[in-house]
Amino acid sequence: MALSMEERRLLAEIEVRLTADDPRLAVRMTRLGRDRRRRIRLITAVAIVAVAAAAALAGALLAAFG
């Protein structure tokens, strides 16, 4: 569900006020978002490598014993 222009304006205003009132919290929230995206990318990469390794192992076993 998309936000209306008024809702976007209000959220931007809240963000500006929050940053002005508590800059340390604003920095922590920004880092939290970045860290979460980084963690998701890392987990995805590890999962892809694990699936590829399992497929390679399965192929090698099928070739050897199949």
Q: What is the pLDDT of residue 32?
A: 82
Residue with tokens 């980084």: 38
Query: Does the global pTM surpass 0.95?
Result: no
Encode pLDDT of 38-54 as tens digits. 889 999 999 999 999 99
The pLDDT of residue 35 is 83
Residue type, 24: R
Give every CB contact of residue 26 below 8 A, 6+ residues apart in sequence.
15, 18, 19
Q: Is 1 a residue whose pLDDT tops 80?
A: no
Q: Are 27 and 19 in contact (CB under 8 A)?
A: no
Give the DSSP H/E element, type plus range, for residue 16.
helix 5-21
Over residues 10-66, the pLDDT tens digits come to: 999 998 998 899 989 888 888 887 888 888 999 999 999 999 999 999 999 999 997
- CA angle 32–30–46, rounded 5-degree value: 40
